[in-house]
Structure 1
Amino acid sequence: MHWRSWDLNLKVRLVGELITHTFFWMYFPFMALYFSESFGKDVAGILLMVPPLLGMLSNLFGGYLADKVGRKPTMLLSLCTSSVMFALFAFSGSPLIDYFAFIGIGIAGSLYWPASSAMVADLTTEEDRRLVFATFYTAMNMGVVAGPVLGSFFFVHYRFELLLVCTVIELLFACAIFFLVKETLPAEVRKEKAKERFSISQQFKGYAVIFRDKVFALYIGAGILVAIAFMQLDMYMALYVKEYVHNQPLVWWGDWTFNVGGTSAFGWLMGLNGLLVVLFTLPVTQWFQHWSDRNSMVISSVLYGFGMFLMAFTANIWLLFGCMFILTLGELIRTPVAQSFISKYAPEDARGQYMGASSLQFSIGRFIAPLAIGISQWLSPVGVFGIILAVSLISAYIYIRLFRMIPDESQQSPQT
């Protein structure tokens, strides 16, 4: 599916999400440091546990709204809310108000993504869906690569101006969606949903039905295990590299050497991960587009687990680059397939809710993942990376079981 043939909705949102995601990563990586300086490390650690919890609830609510009132109104609500929160953050003179604004921005973002993913699914065919999701994933990661580099200067020296620009960017994106993007929730679904009474209890009843779906429950369970492994990139792997990867030459020429080690080595590894994601998401998606969802998810989990596990046996930066290449390949194979699978599997009238519920795997995985750091006090790196490998292999096994319950991937439908 060539870019020129894309629906205008997709083009507008791809450009808008690239820009807004870049600005998001210009401030987000520095918030833990900012709140640690403002409240102290202990208090900041507790405070930063709240946004993911609220994010889980707002993801679910965003999915419900996307199916109830439509994709476009949900995205507009999200962007208008984030604009107000960025403005509050910019003009605030209190770290406490900054913290509440930060929570508000997170809630607004969580409302946005289920509607965004559902709209992509609404506008694409099953054959093109992986490639379109991969394109959006590439755009997001361009922001991840560029944002922190720019933010290291602008957030430190021009925080007010940066947050003010973020406010304007969110408003402009909201205007673009209001004037250029059309609603994609089918009219008959909207009419049917309009008859239902709007209530929190109705929302949770809808999600209760979803989680009684055996196939979807297995998908969430496997996804939580995958997320636990994925999150180790900036958790246990960061700790391992800092403690065991000592200063060593990265490149050399004659008597000149450029050394990396510890934190700088971790930065180079993460930089490689981001660069590989930006450069190879689309090519890898095209190379593997004829693979079944089952094979893609299983191989992805295995590659990621072994890429992590092999790190335990080396402290050489170039060998660690090789490990990073293996696990990043697993990441690139899985991401568009996972998004495409949910859009195929979910019924049309509950697509937003399924997208919102699917996000729980990452939120729950993010909560459990830090346990690896605590476990590292009692186990050697081989033991900790071995647990990460085991978690990845168990997720691969669950995916195999899951697809045995779906005989024909081309005709997937919920099984309750």
Structure 2
Amino acid sequence: MAAASLASFRRAARESVAGLPREFWWLWTSTLVNRLGAFVATFMALYLTLERGYSASFAGLVAALHGLGGVVSSLVAGVMTDRLGRRPTLMAAQASTAVAVAVLGFMEHPVAIALVALVVGMTSNASRPAVQAMMSDIVAPEDRVRAFALNFWAINLGFAVSSTAAGFVAEYSYLAGFLGEAALTLVCAVLVYVKLPESRPERSGTGAGDGAAAEEAVSLRTVLRDKRFMGVVGLSFLISLIFTQGSVGLPVAMGAGGFSAGDYGMVIAVNGVLIVLLQLPVTRFVEHRDPQRLLVVSALLAGYGFGLTAFAGSIGAYALSVCVWTLAEIINAPTQMGLVVRLSPAHGRGRYQGMYTMSWSVAALVAPLMAGYVIDRFGAEWLWGSTAVLGTAAAFGYWALMRRLATGSGTGAGDDGAAAGPPVAAPAGAGADVPVDVTP
């Protein structure tokens, strides 16, 4: 019995990684190394409140500035990804992030901390559109959901290791954490330079033909006019506003409750460990099922999973709530990314991914302000109650959006022939295949 189970696991593992190009695996390795050094985003709130003695509101302000930097850089990096290429954008973003993170570790004045955190937010977020566009370029359409799941798995494999280790590093020296992240981010830049070729699709022509005209039509205005895609962006904002509380509201609430940085590190490591263990088998189970139901269920699990935190009073209870919203992440991440790619034209992937990334950046801007204000004024219980409300709203939004996509209504620029991406039909019911990607 045990031998059969082991053989089944090995077969499932081989099928999960088979058929993906070598370039994908170098990009995957770069992602893994980068997340092994994730320190600032995870421990900034604890660093400011416990190490520096600032209030939760100031910690929220700094985190919001970090998010503001991401809002600005998302769109700029998206345009750079399309115009300059994926590879140079990615290298520039990672090299500048390494420098900015190292500098942040030496800042002591509150104004200096806030300003450098803004720069870190700009540089660190600039790599996301390039990574996502490159992954869409080099992976075949039928393998993209699996590839996004594997990339998300790498992010959390690194996070599971780094969050636990960094928790103890923080108790010894926060500066060591900043410098460690800077070093690993620089390794990522070198890896991209040495191993990854440019993947930006070549334009079909330079004349005034229909193909070239369609390619040139992809601009930020095109993205904004694409109503169906902007609906996905809006719902992504609600979901990310919830998930961001895992690195903003949760550590502040646990710190206020008398828990240490090491305690928070162990609790949040549950998130990474579960994703490492469950991401691949769950993705195999859901990748050909109705995305409407998957997105609705994931939104409810996210909202009410964080809502359970209001009743937590021990490390075990906090870990249990993390288990619930982690399942939401496992389901939502590859499903939503697959939808984003299907709605993105090949020559506008940078801009589309930049707009999508901006939804997470805006959430990173709003979430810490929300968490700091609510915790300081009303208490953490009100924060967790608000996540349940947001999860319910997002679930209804996904249900409505996917119904409109199924009937072909509610589309934006794609209706009049602009390069806004292909029509997407939602499957009729559970068990139906995910729509086939026909992006040019």
Q: TM-score, normalised by structure 2?
A: 0.74
User: 1:112, CA displacement in angstroms?
Assistant: 0.8
1:115 and 2:130 correspond: yes
Q: Partners in 2 of 1:384 and 1:359 — Cα distance?
A: 24
Specify the code of the residue in structure 2 equivalent to 1:288.
V
- Matches for 1:11-50 after TM superposition, within 5 Å: 11-25=25-39, 27-32=40-45, 34=47, 41=55, 46-50=61-65
Unmatched segments (≥5 aa) in structure 1: 193-201, 247-260
- Matches for 1:99-248 after TM superposition, within 5 Å: 102-152=117-167, 154=169, 169-188=184-203, 206-236=219-249
| Counterpart for residue 414 of structure 2 | none
Return closer, same or farther for 1:32/1:310 CA change in 2, 3 Å cut-off. closer
| Counterpart for residue 72 of structure 2 | 57
Q: Partners in 2 of 1:376 and 1:357 — Cα distance?
A: 30
RMSD over equivalenced CA pairs, Å? 3.9
Q: 1:81·1:104 contact (CA, 8 Å) conserved in 2?
A: no
Specify the code of the residue in structure 2 equivalent to 1:342.
V
Unmatched segments (≥5 aa) in structure 2: 1-14, 208-215, 407-424, 427-434
Specify the code of the residue in structure 1 equivalent to 2:275.
V
Q: Partners in 2 of 1:321 and 1:153 — Cα distance?
A: 18
**Matched-pair identity in %:** 22
1:72 and 2:93 correspond: no
Q: Partners in 2 of 1:262 and 1:403 — Cα distance?
A: 43
Specify the code of the residue in structure 1 equivalent to 2:236.
G
Q: 1:8·1:181 contact (CA, 8 Å) conserved in 2?
A: no
Specify the code of the residue in structure 2 equivalent to 1:116.
V
User: 1:143, CA displacement in angstroms?
Assistant: 2.2
User: 1:355, CA displacement in angstroms?
Assistant: 0.9
Specify the code of the residue in structure 2 equivalent to 1:388.
T
User: Which SS does the other structure have where 1:183 is aligned?
Assistant: coil
Return closer, same or farther for 1:98/1:126 CA change in 2, 3 Å cut-off. same
User: Which SS does the other structure have where 1:188 is aligned?
Assistant: coil
| Counterpart for residue 403 of structure 2 | 404
- Which stretch of structure 1 is more off in the superposition, 378-387 or 75-84? 378-387
Specify the code of the residue in structure 2 equivalent to 1:371.
M
Specify the code of the residue in structure 2 equivalent to 1:398.
G
Q: Partners in 1 of 2:242 and 2:405 — Cα distance?
A: 26
- Which stretch of structure 1 is more off in the superposition, 380-389 or 343-352? 380-389
Superposed CA deviations along residues 350-388 of structure 1, whole A, max 9, x for unmatched, are 111111111222222233334356446787877654432
Q: Partners in 2 of 1:148 and 1:322 — Cα distance?
A: 17
Specify the code of the residue in structure 1 equivalent to 2:326.
T
Q: Partners in 2 of 1:232 and 1:162 — Cα distance?
A: 21
Match of 1:340 among 338, 341, 352: 338
Q: 1:18·1:143 contact (CA, 8 Å) conserved in 2?
A: yes
Return closer, same or farther for 1:142/1:34 CA change in 2, 3 Å cut-off. same
| Counterpart for residue 360 of structure 1 | 358
Q: 1:70·1:190 contact (CA, 8 Å) conserved in 2?
A: no
Q: Partners in 1 of 2:195 and 2:206 — Cα distance?
A: 23
- Which stretch of structure 1 is more off in the superposition, 335-344 or 139-148? 139-148
- Matches for 1:257-268 after TM superposition, within 5 Å: 268=266
User: 1:7, CA displacement in angstroms?
Assistant: 1.7
User: 1:32, CA displacement in angstroms?
Assistant: 4.4
Return closer, same or farther for 1:7/1:185 CA change in 2, 3 Å cut-off. same
User: 1:266, CA displacement in angstroms?
Assistant: 5.4
Superposed CA deviations along residues 232-285 of structure 1, whole A, max 9, x for unmatched, are 3345555666778x9xxxxxxxxxxxxxx7987755542322321222111211
Return closer, same or farther for 1:111/1:48 CA change in 2, 3 Å cut-off. same
Specify the code of the residue in structure 2 equivalent to 1:401.
A
- Matches for 1:251-262 after TM superposition, within 5 Å: none
Q: Partners in 1 of 2:382 and 2:26 — Cα distance?
A: 47
User: 1:188, CA displacement in angstroms?
Assistant: 1.2
Q: TM-score, normalised by structure 1?
A: 0.78
Q: 1:62·1:115 contact (CA, 8 Å) conserved in 2?
A: yes
Match of 2:295 among 294, 297, 307: 297
Superposed CA deviations along residues 268-314 of structure 1, whole A, max 9, x for unmatched, are 54232232122211121111111122221111112222333445466
User: 1:229, CA displacement in angstroms?
Assistant: 2.3
Specify the code of the residue in structure 2 equivalent to 1:14.
W
Superposed CA deviations along residues 17-46 of structure 1, whole A, max 9, x for unmatched, are 211221232x55444455566695576654
User: 1:171, CA displacement in angstroms?
Assistant: 4.2
Superposed CA deviations along residues 199-258 of structure 1, whole A, max 9, x for unmatched, are xxx99x9223312211122212222222222233345555666778x9xxxxxxxxxxxx
User: Which SS does the other structure have where 1:187 is aligned?
Assistant: coil
Return closer, same or farther for 1:157/1:380 CA change in 2, 3 Å cut-off. closer
Specify the code of the residue in structure 1 equivalent to 2:327.
L
Return closer, same or farther for 1:68/1:206 CA change in 2, 3 Å cut-off. same
Q: Partners in 2 of 1:403 and 1:293 — Cα distance?
A: 8
Return closer, same or farther for 1:411/1:134 CA change in 2, 3 Å cut-off. closer
Q: Partners in 1 of 2:318 and 2:278 — Cα distance?
A: 19
Q: Partners in 2 of 1:114 and 1:173 — Cα distance?
A: 16
Q: Partners in 2 of 1:147 and 1:106 — Cα distance?
A: 19
Match of 2:275 among 265, 274, 277: 277
Superposed CA deviations along residues 50-109 of structure 1, whole A, max 9, x for unmatched, are 22111111011111111112111211221232344456568x687677765554443222
| Counterpart for residue 391 of structure 2 | 392
Return closer, same or farther for 1:340/1:102 CA change in 2, 3 Å cut-off. same
The total of aligned residue pairs comes to 388
User: Which SS does the other structure have where 2:405 is aligned?
Assistant: coil
Q: Partners in 2 of 1:160 and 1:308 — Cα distance?
A: 30
User: 1:333, CA displacement in angstroms?
Assistant: 0.4
